[in-house]
Structure 1
Amino acid sequence: MSFFSTLRQKATFIDKISESFGNTITRDEKFKLEYKLPPGENIQDDTNADVSFVSIYDSNNKKKQSIITAKQSNQEKVAYVFSGRLYMTPHFLVFKDSFDQKSCELILNISTIKKVERSPSAAYAFALMITLYSGSQVIIQFVGLRYRSEQFCEQLKKNLRENMPKAKELSSFLSTCYSEFIINKNMLRMTNLHPPKAGLGQSFKYPGAVDAAKEKRKLRLWFDYFKMNGQNLAIMKSPLFHKLVRIGLPNRMRGEIWDLCSGAMYLRHANEGVYEKILKDNEGKISQAIEEIEKDLKRSLPEYSAYQTEEGIQRLRNVLTAYSWKNPDVGYCQAMNIVCAALLIYLSEEQAFWCLCNICDIYVPGYYSKTMYGTLLDQKVFESFVEEKLPVLWDYIVKHDIQLSIVSLPWFLSLFYTSIPLEYAIRIMDLFFMNGAKALFQVALAVLKINADDILQADDDGMFIAIIKNYFRTLDQSVHPDAPDIKYRQITKFQELLVTAFKEFSVITDSSILQERNRYKKDIFQNIEIFVKKTQLRHLPKVFHLTDDNLSNIYDIYYQSIETHKISMGTGSSNMTFEVFVQFMTKLCEWAKPINEETNPAFNKQRSSFLRILFNNWDIAKLNELSLNDIVSGLDKLLTHDLLESINYFFSLYDNDDDGELQREEVLQLSEGLLLLTEPWKSGRLIDALTKRQLEDDIAERIAQDKLQQIEEEQKIELPKNYEVDEEKYKNEQSERYLLAASNFLQRSFEYATTLALADEVNLIDLSDEEETAESKQAKEKKFASLKANAALDPTHPKILDLANFRMIILADETYELFFARTLRSSIYVDKNFGANNDRGKALRGMFDGIIADGRRVAQQVRRRVDSVATKSTTNSIESPDNLTPDNSTLVGSKYDDIDDFTNEGADDEDEFVDEESNALLKNPWVDEELEDQESTSETLNGPKKRPVSMIVPHQENDLIEFET
C-alpha cells in the first residue's frame, strides 16, 4: 500500500472523529466505542497489513488434512486477502478493511492465540502466522517499513506473555458460548456435551409462533458461518454476518449474537466472576434503588409467562440489583426493568448483566440516568430528523400543535418493547445491537412515513396516538392482502417497516446523530439544570434568615464546589465530603479563608478544627457527608439576626453531650474558635462597626476644629477629598480590642464558671488556736495566689461554664456582643455578589472613601460639635435649636457609593427616632440597630442628647453641607 493511501486512511479517521464528536473525544475512546471493547483497551500500535483467515474446516464439514505452515507459501490455500489497518491493544488484535469498512472486520482476543510463527518470505515482505485455539489460522502480512513491523511483533510478544493467565481460563469461558457447543457436537463429534446456560426462553418458550423448520435452516446458516469464519472471541465479520442478522436470528443463537455484537462478551471475559461477587458482597443490603426495583418487578413484560413465576422474577431482581450496586450514579431508572426483562429471555443472568452495562454506557448513554438527559436529547434529535426528512408531516404536526414526543419518547426509552408486540420488538433489537442507536431513529422515522397519510388527518394528540397504536397491532398483517401475486400477499407490515427503515433512511448515520446531539446538547443540559435547580430549591427545608436569592447563590456555589457531580447528567455524588466542605466555606466566609502558613502556622490548624466541628454539627444523619439541605440549615443558623440565638448556637457547637455545660477543655476549644472567627478583624482585613464609628468621630472632630471659623462666617462646610487616614493606627487599635476581648473572655469564663465539688478541698481559712508563724503565713499566701492564678489549669479544681454565664460574659464585652449581633453575619457572603469583591483587604481606605462620599453621618457629628461650641460661646439671644430649619444643603455621592462592600453595612440599616421636644418623626440612616443604645449613652460626650432638626442632612445634591445658624 502506498504512502498516500496510508495518509488518506489516517486523515479519514481523524475527520470522522472531528465531525462526529466535535473534538471532545480522544482517538482511543473513539476506537473503543466503535468496536465495543472493554475499558483500558487503548491502542498500543497500529500498522497497514494484508490479512487472511484460513479455517480448519472445508465446505464439506470435514477437517482439512493439512493446514498452512510456516514453510509453505503465503499464497497457498488462501481464498481471500483483505488490505486494511491492524490495531493492537493489551488484549485484542483488531483489523478492518480499507475497501468499504464492511468486507472484513476481525476482533481477535489474544487469549485465543495458541501459536505465533514468522513466515519466510522475500526481502520486501514480513508476515506472521497466528494459529488459534480451534486450529484455524490468521495470516498477517505487514505493509511498511520492516523496523516498524518488528516493533509491532515485539509488542505482540509482550502482550501474549502477560496474557498467559487469561489464556489458561479460556476453556471455562468457551463452555458458556452456544457456538462452541454446536461446533464441538457436530464437527468434533464430542459426546456427553450439555448446552450452556441460556435465557428464560429455553424453559418458557420464546415469544411469537416459532416455525421449527425455519429455525433449523437459520441455525444451519450460522453453523456454516462459524466453521469458515471462526466464532465468539475469534470471529471475522463479513457482509454475510450482517445479512444473517437482518433476516432474523434463530432463537437459540440470538443470545450469543447479542452478547457478541454488543461487546458484552468481551466485557464478560475480562471480568469473569465479577457479577457473582457483586451479588455476594451486597447480599441483604438495602438502598433506594432496590426499593424502586421491587415495585417494578411484576410490571416488567407481564405478558411473558416467565415473569409470572418466582424464577423469572428472581433473575430479573438479581440483574437489576447487581447493576444498581455496580453503577450507583444511575442505580435504577424507569424502563430499565423492561429492557432487562427482554434480555433475560435469551441471555443468562451474567450475559444480561454485562449487556445491560453496555446498553447504558455505549448504545444509549444518558437514557437511564437520574435526569434522563440522553432520552431528552435524542427526542430533540429525532424531531430535527423529522423536520428534515419529512417536512410536510412536520409542518402539519407543528400547525396542529401535536406533541410528537408523547408518542416517540416511549419508543426510545423502552427500545420499542412497550409499544409493539414482543416478537417484533426482538427483531428490532437484533438490528439495534448490530447497527447501534441509529436503528432506533430509522425505525421511528419509518413508522411516521408509513402512517403519514393517516397522521395528516389527525387533529389532536389523541387521534395521533390512536393511529400509531392501531398500526402496531396490525404488524403481522399483509401489506397487500388483495394482490394477485402470492409473494406480495406474504409481505407483512413489519417487513415493510424494516425495508423502509433501512433502505429509505439509510442516510441516518452515527455521524449525523452525533452531530445533531452536539448541536442540541448545550440547550438540553441548560434546561435540565434549570429544572433540577427549581425542583431542589422548592424542596429545601424551611429557613428564616435566608432569602430566595441567597438560596439560589448557595445552590450554585454548592454544586460548583463538587466538581465530580454533573447536574445535567445526574452522575457523581451530590453530597459534600469534608474536604469539599472546606473549599465551599472558603468561598462563602471570610474567616474560613486560609492564610500564609509562615505568617501564622497555628491559624490553619484552628481553621480546620473549627470547620470539622461545624461539619459534624451539620451532619445530622451522621453519614460523614453533607447534603444541600444540611448546608442550607446550617447557614441559616449562622445567619440569625437574633443576638441570643446566635450566642446559644455557638455555645451548642462545643456542647457535645448537650447538657448545657462546657468542661475546661471545651471552654478552651471555644475560645480558640472565637480567635479563629475574629481573625479577619484582628488582622485588619475587615473593619467592624466600632472602628467605623471611631473613624467617623475622628473625621468629624478634625473638620469641626479646622472649619469652625468657616462655618461661623460662611454658613457652610466642604468635606475633604484627600483626608489622610492612619490605617495602621485604626488596625492596631481594632486588633488590640479583639485581643483584649479574647483575653477577657477566657479570664471571665473561668472566673464566673462553676467549680465542681472537690474530693480534697484546700482549707484557706485556718480556725486553729495555734499561733501562726510568719513563714507559714507567707507560704499559705503564696499557695493561695498560685491556685488563684492558675484556676483555669488546675486539675484539682475543675470548672464548668453553663450557657447563662456564657451569655453574660459575651454581653459584658462590647466587641463580642457586636460580633454575635452583627459582625459574624456580615462576614458570610450569601448575597448575589458573594466572593466577587476581592478588595476587602483595603477595607479601611474604602470605608473612609465611602464616609466622605455619603457624608450625612459625618455632617451630623460635625453639627453636634458646632452646636456644642456655639452653646458655650454665644448668648441667650441665639435662636432656640427647635426653631432652626435646614437649608437646601446636600451632599453629592461619588465613585465610592459602594460603601457597603467595605463597611458590611447596607442602606436598609435605618432607625427611626423622635425629637424629644418637637416629637417629629425623623429618619436617621446612620444609626446602627445594635449601637443605638450605646449611642444614646455616649451623646453626652459628643453633644447634647436632644437631637435638633437642624442636624438632619437632606438628600444629596452637591458637594457642600450648609447649616442655618
Structure 2
Amino acid sequence: MSFLESIRQKAPFLDKLAESFTPSMTRDEQFRAEYKLPAEEHIIDDTSADVSFISAFGHAKTLRDKGRKGEQAMAYVFSGKFFLTPHYLVFRDAFDHASCVMIVNLSTVKRVERAPSTAYAFSLIVTLYSGTQILIQFIGLRYRSEQFCDHLKKKLKENIPNAKQLPDFLSSCYSEFLLRKNLLNAKDIAAPSAGLGQQFKFPGNPTVAKEKARLMLWFNYFKENGENLAIVKNHEFQKLIRIGVPNRMRGEIWELCSGSMYLRQANPGVYQKILKDNASKVSQAVEEIEKDLKRSLPEYSAYQTEEGIQRLRNVLTAYSWKNPDVGYCQAMNIVVAGLLIFMTEEQAFWCLSSLCDTYVPGYYSKTMYGTLLDQKVFEAFVEEKMPLLWNHIVENDIQLSVVSLPWFLSLFFTSMPLEYAFRIMDIFFMNGSQTLFQVALAILKLNGDDLLQSEDDGMFIAILKNYFQTLSQSAHPDSSDVKYRQITKFQELLVTAFKEFSVIENSMVAQERARHQKGILQNIETFVKRTQLRHMPRTLNLTEEELSNIYDIFYQSIENHKISMGTGSSNMNFEVFIQFLSKFCDWCRSSENDNDPAFRQQRRNFLKRLFKNWDSGNVGDLTLNDVVSGLDKLLSRDLLESVNYFFSLYDEDGDGELQREEVLQISEGLLFLTEPWKTSRFVDILTKQSIEADIAEKIVKEKGTAMTMDELKLPSGVTIDEEKYKTEQTERYLKAASCFLQRSFEYARPLEVAEEINLIDLSDNEGETEDAKQKKFQSMRANAALDPSHPTVIDLATFRMIILADETYELFFTITFRHSIHVDQRVDLSEAKDKALRSMFDGIIADGRRVADQVRRRVDSVATRSTTASINSITASNGPATIPRDDKSDDLDDLTSYHADEHEELLNNSWLGDVESSDSSKKQSRTLQPINSSSGSQQEDLIEFET
C-alpha cells in the first residue's frame, strides 16, 4: 500500500474535501456512475454485511467436494455493504472499495435460502445459475436485515421474466463459452459471434502479445471469481487489464467495464428493432455517415470489404436514430470501427451509447463541447505539471490543441498503431477519462527534450508522429542491462502515464472541467449565434439588433434545447410558438378575455394559420429562419403589403378570392388582433390625438386668445376622463368590425353568374315612405348575400378597398399592428401591466410639444378669426386700425423659473404624473402636472394604457 493511500484511509476527511470541489451529484447518480449501471437503476435499500464467495469451479468448491461430508470449505470473508436496485445486487468492501466489488444481476439468482445460524445471527445463502454460492451474514439490527430481505424477495419475483431470457444472453458471452468448454467438457457448444477480428485477424502479432498466456490468466480468474453478469472484481481484475486483455476476450471485458453489457441485457432486440424501423429512412446524419464509411481505419483489411463497411454502417445509423440530438459526428466512425474489431454490431452499439453518455460526454455532439472543454483542461494540466514545456509552447505560439485534439477525439486510434491504441482502451474503459489525460501528459513528458527544440506547429507534430511510429522499439537500446533493453517505448509510456501521473484522477478532471465549463459554453454560444445570424435569410424590415433579440427569445422559448451542447431539437412546435409570440406581441399576451372559450379559440385559429404559413418545410415545426422570415413579413412598413399578407393567410388555395366562410374567419382574426385596443388595454394614435386636442382646447379656453406663445405652458390641473376615451375607442373598433363584415358582403360578387333574384315585397304597409322602402330593399339584398345557395366572394382589391375605407383599420395596418410587435427590445415576462392610461399620459406629458402645437394652431386660428372680424368691423366704421401688443415681462420671468425648476424635477423623477380621483364624478380620471413643452422625446407609436 502506498504512503498516500495509507494517509487517505487514516484521514477520510480528505475525500470529503475533494468531493466538495466536484460538481454535485445525487446519491443514485454517483452510484450509477461508479458501477456503470443503466439509468433506471436506483438504490432501493442497503445494509451492512459480511460476505464470502464460493465459485462453482473455484478452488474452495473443489476442496469442499473432495472433503468429508459436512466439512466447511474455506473462503475469504469481506466486510462491506450491500445495495439493492431494481435489477442488481451490488456489494462493495469497506476496506478500499476495490478489494471485492460484486455486481450480480438478479436474473442470475437461482435460489435464496436462510443459512443455519445462531439466534443472534441472520444469514442467507444465494445460489446463482452457475452453481456459485454467496454467503451473506447481515450486520446490524435484525429488523433492518429482515426489511432488506423483503425488498430482495420482491425484486427477485419481478425479475423472473428476465431469468427466462438469460440463456440466450449468456450464449453471446465468450467467458461462458470458455468455462463450459473447458470445465464442463461441452461438445456441442459453439463459440459466440464476435467482431471482425475473428475473420480478418486481430491487429498485432499474437505470438509477441502472448495471447494464449493471457487467455489462460483470464480463464483462471473466471473460475475463482465468476463471470459476466455475476463477476467479482478485485485488484487482480485490474492487474489483468493493465497487462493486456486477450483479443478474444477484449470485447466482453470492454462491455463489462463500461457497463454496456448491462444495457444490452436490459434491452434485448432493441438494436435490431431500430434498424428495422428506420431501414428506408433518410436523414442528414445518414448522408454524412455514407461519406465517412471508407475513411474509417482504412489500414485494417476488414474495412476494405463490403461486410466490414456494412457492419459499420449499421451501428452508426442505428445510433443516429437512437440519439437524434447527436446523430453522427466526426471521429465517431473511427471509434466504432475500432469497437467492431472485437465486438458484434449489437455489442458495439451499446458500447458506443455508454461511451458517449458516460465516458466522454459532449465529445460526439453537434458543438463538440466536451472535446473543446477537455482541451482546455489538458492545457491546464500541462501548465501545472510541465511549466517549462508550457512556456516554450506559449512563446512559440504553438497550438497544443491542434496536436492533442485528434488524440482525445479518436481515443488514440488514428495516432498510434492499433495494437497499442487498444491497450490504452483497455485501461480507459476500466479507469475512465482520466486515462486520456495521463497518456497524453506522458507522451509530452517522454518527448519533452525534443519538443523544446521545436519552433512551430509542424516540427512539434513531426516529433510526436515519429515517436508513435517507433513505439515497438526499445526505449533504452544502449543500456548494458538486457532486461532494460527489452523495455519498449510503449511499456515506458504506460509506466510514465500510470505512475508519474497517477495523481490525475477523475475527481481532479471533474474539478477542472467545472472551472472551465462556463467559459467554453459561452464561447460556443457566441460562435453559434454569430454563425446563425450570418446565415439568416435576407430581411427588409428587421435590423441586426432585432435579429439578435429574436434569436435569443427563440432559443429561450425552446427550453429543452441547449445551444452550447447541441442537444434537444432546435425547432419550435405550435405550443412553444404561442409562448414565443406572447413574449413580445401585445395581441398574443394574456388578457382578461382568456377565460372566454370563444376568444381562446379565435386566438388558436389565427395562430395556427400564422404557424402553417411560416412552416416552409410543412413538417409541423418552425426553424429559426422560418420565424425570422415570418416576422419580417408582419413588420412590413408598406400598407398594401401588410393588407395583402393578411389576406393571403386566409386565401389557402391561392386563387385570390375569399368565400363566405373565409370572410367570416378573417373577421374573427381581426377581432382577435384588435382585442387589446377594443378592450382599451392600449391606445392608438387616434385616441392619443383626441386627448391632445382636448387638452389644447382646455388651455385655449383658460388663457384665451390674448395668450402669447412665450406664455405657453401646461396648466397644473388638467383632468382627463379616462372612461370617456376608453369608451370612444372601444366603440370605434366595434364599429370598424361591424362595418368590415357589412361591407364585405355588400361588395361581394357572385361566385357564379346567376339570374337576378326577384325580390317581391309581400308586406301590406301601404303607408311606408320611399326612403323606408329603399332601406328595406337593401336589407333584403344583404340577406340574399348570406344565402348559402348563392355563394359570393371578395377578391384582394375589394378587401383592400374595405380596409382603406375605415380609418381605424387603415391605421391598424399602417402603424398600430406593426408597433404592437416589440422585437426591438428584450421582454421582461414579469412586467405587470394593470394601469390602463398611465403610460399614455406620461407620453403626452413628456412630449408637450404636440400639445403646444395643438394650442398654437387653436390660438392662431382663433386670433386670425378675431382679428379679421375686428379689422372688418373697424374698417367698416373708422377705417384701418393698428392692433396693440401687450408684452408682459412678468410672464416671461415665470416661464424661465419654470424651466429651471420643472426640468430638474423631470430629470430626477421617472413618474411624470400624479393620480387624482374626482369625487364629483364616478369616472376614473387623471391629473396632469405642468411640463416644459420642449422636454421629452417625440412618441409617434401606439401608447400602452398600462405601464
Q: Same fold (TM over 0.5)?
A: yes
Identity of aligned residues (%): 64
The aligned runs of 1:65-214 (5 Å cut-off) are 65=65, 76-211=72-207, 214=210
Deviation of the 1:91 alpha carbon: 0.6
* Match status 1:595 vs 2:595: no
CA change 1:806–1:237 in 2 (3 A) is same
1:343 corresponds to: 339
CA change 1:672–1:283 in 2 (3 A) is same
Deviation of the 1:356 alpha carbon: 0.5
Deviation of the 1:384 alpha carbon: 1.1
Instruction: Count the aligned residue pairs.
Output: 886
1:905 corresponds to: none
* Match status 1:417 vs 2:413: yes
Contact 2:705 2:862 in 1 (8 A): no
For residues 757-792 of structure 1, what are the alpha-carbon distances to aligned partners after superposition, in whole Å with 9 as ceiling and x for unaligned? 3667532489xxxxx9969999x9999566324245
CA change 1:642–1:925 in 2 (3 A) is farther
CA change 1:721–1:206 in 2 (3 A) is farther
Deviation of the 1:601 alpha carbon: 3.7
Could you tell me how far apart the structure 2 residues matched to 1:100 and 1:685 are? 69
Query: SS at the partner of 1:65?
Result: helix
The aligned runs of 1:499-514 (5 Å cut-off) are 499-514=495-510
* Match status 1:626 vs 2:622: yes
Query: SS at the partner of 2:206?
Result: coil
Contact 2:451 2:463 in 1 (8 A): yes
Deviation of the 1:103 alpha carbon: 0.6
* Match status 1:763 vs 2:764: no
CA change 1:542–1:196 in 2 (3 A) is same
1:265 corresponds to: 261
Deviation of the 1:840 alpha carbon: 5.1
Query: SS at the partner of 1:790?
Result: helix
Residue type at the aligned position of 1:541: P
For residues 447-474 of structure 1, what are the alpha-carbon distances to aligned partners after superposition, in whole Å with 9 as ceiling and x for unaligned? 1111111111111212111111111111
Could you tell me how far apart the structure 1 residues matched to 2:67 and 2:164 are? 24
Deviation of the 1:295 alpha carbon: 0.1
1:724 corresponds to: 719
Could you tell me how far apart the structure 1 residues matched to 2:912 and 2:357 are? 51
Residue number among 446, 450, 460 corresponding to 2:442 in the alignment: 446
Residue type at the aligned position of 1:587: K
Which moved further from structure 2: 35-44 or 714-723?
Answer: 714-723
For residues 285-304 of structure 1, what are the alpha-carbon distances to aligned partners after superposition, in whole Å with 9 as ceiling and x for unaligned? 10000000000000000000
CA change 1:773–1:743 in 2 (3 A) is closer
Query: SS at the partner of 2:707?
Result: helix
For residues 901-937 of structure 1, what are the alpha-carbon distances to aligned partners after superposition, in whole Å with 9 as ceiling and x for unaligned? 9xxxxxxxxxxxxxxxxxxxxxx9979699xxxxxxx
CA change 1:10–1:270 in 2 (3 A) is farther
* Match status 1:793 vs 2:786: yes
Could you tell me how far apart the structure 2 residues matched to 1:251 and 1:461 are? 36
Could you tell me how far apart the structure 2 residues matched to 1:773 and 1:691 are? 45
Residue type at the aligned position of 2:56: I
Contact 1:106 1:235 in 2 (8 A): yes
Deviation of the 1:723 alpha carbon: 2.6
Deviation of the 1:259 alpha carbon: 1.1
Deviation of the 1:600 alpha carbon: 3.7
1:807 corresponds to: 800
* Match status 1:585 vs 2:581: yes
Query: SS at the partner of 1:416?
Result: coil
TM-score, normalisation: structure 2: 0.89
Deviation of the 1:895 alpha carbon: 5.6
2:741 corresponds to: 746
Residue number among 841, 851, 854 corresponding to 2:847 in the alignment: 854
Deviation of the 1:68 alpha carbon: 12
Could you tell me how far apart the structure 2 residues matched to 1:855 and 1:691 are? 16
Contact 2:44 2:86 in 1 (8 A): yes
Query: SS at the partner of 1:40?
Result: coil
Could you tell me how far apart the structure 1 residues matched to 2:85 and 2:458 are? 53
Could you tell me how far apart the structure 2 residues matched to 1:673 and 1:833 are? 27
For residues 372-402 of structure 1, what are the alpha-carbon distances to aligned partners after superposition, in whole Å with 9 as ceiling and x for unaligned? 0100111111111111111222122222221
Which moved further from structure 2: 570-579 or 53-62?
Answer: 53-62
Deviation of the 1:407 alpha carbon: 0.5
Residue number among 351, 368, 375 corresponding to 1:372 in the alignment: 368
2:28 corresponds to: 28
CA change 1:776–1:78 in 2 (3 A) is farther
Query: SS at the partner of 2:114?
Result: strand
The aligned runs of 1:883-902 (5 Å cut-off) are 894=906
Deviation of the 1:847 alpha carbon: 2.1
Q: Runs of 5+ in structure 1 lacking a partner?
A: 1-7, 767-771, 882-886, 902-923, 931-965
CA change 1:812–1:853 in 2 (3 A) is same
Could you tell me how far apart the structure 1 residues matched to 2:471 and 2:830 are? 66
CA change 1:715–1:216 in 2 (3 A) is closer
Residue type at the aligned position of 2:307: E
CA change 1:219–1:20 in 2 (3 A) is farther
CA change 1:721–1:576 in 2 (3 A) is farther
The aligned runs of 1:212-227 (5 Å cut-off) are 214-227=210-223
Could you tell me how far apart the structure 2 residues matched to 1:732 and 1:36 are? 69
Residue number among 305, 312, 319 corresponding to 1:316 in the alignment: 312
1:685 corresponds to: 681
The aligned runs of 1:447-596 (5 Å cut-off) are 447-596=443-592
Residue number among 595, 606, 615 corresponding to 2:611 in the alignment: 615
Could you tell me how far apart the structure 2 residues matched to 1:396 and 1:433 are? 33
For residues 46-81 of structure 1, what are the alpha-carbon distances to aligned partners after superposition, in whole Å with 9 as ceiling and x for unaligned? 111111111222449969527999xx79xx323211
CA change 1:454–1:644 in 2 (3 A) is same
Deviation of the 1:833 alpha carbon: 3.6
2:38 corresponds to: 38
Contact 1:847 1:899 in 2 (8 A): no
1:953 corresponds to: none
Which moved further from structure 2: 802-811 or 892-901?
Answer: 892-901
* Match status 1:19 vs 2:20: yes
Deviation of the 1:838 alpha carbon: 3.4
2:631 corresponds to: 635
Could you tell me how far apart the structure 2 residues matched to 1:372 and 1:239 are? 35
Which moved further from structure 2: 311-320 or 828-837?
Answer: 828-837
Query: SS at the partner of 1:724?
Result: strand
Could you tell me how far apart the structure 2 residues matched to 1:896 and 1:880 are? 42
Contact 2:60 2:74 in 1 (8 A): no
Could you tell me how far apart the structure 2 residues matched to 1:20 and 1:266 are? 30
CA change 1:781–1:543 in 2 (3 A) is closer
Deviation of the 1:825 alpha carbon: 0.4
Deviation of the 1:849 alpha carbon: 2.6
For residues 572-617 of structure 1, what are the alpha-carbon distances to aligned partners after superposition, in whole Å with 9 as ceiling and x for unaligned? 1000010100100111211011323576442222111111111111
Contact 2:847 2:938 in 1 (8 A): no
CA change 1:490–1:777 in 2 (3 A) is farther
Query: SS at the partner of 2:112?
Result: strand
Could you tell me how far apart the structure 2 residues matched to 1:925 and 1:189 are? 96
2:295 corresponds to: 299
Could you tell me how far apart the structure 2 residues matched to 1:878 and 1:582 are? 69
Contact 1:787 1:794 in 2 (8 A): no
Deviation of the 1:899 alpha carbon: 11
Could you tell me how far apart the structure 1 residues matched to 2:938 and 2:216 are? 95
Deviation of the 1:650 alpha carbon: 0.3
Contact 1:479 1:496 in 2 (8 A): yes
2:57 corresponds to: 57
* Match status 1:736 vs 2:731: yes
* Match status 1:256 vs 2:252: yes
Deviation of the 1:897 alpha carbon: 9.9
Residue type at the aligned position of 2:581: M
The aligned runs of 1:937-956 (5 Å cut-off) are none
Q: Runs of 5+ in structure 2 lacking a partner?
A: 1-8, 872-880, 886-891, 914-935, 943-947
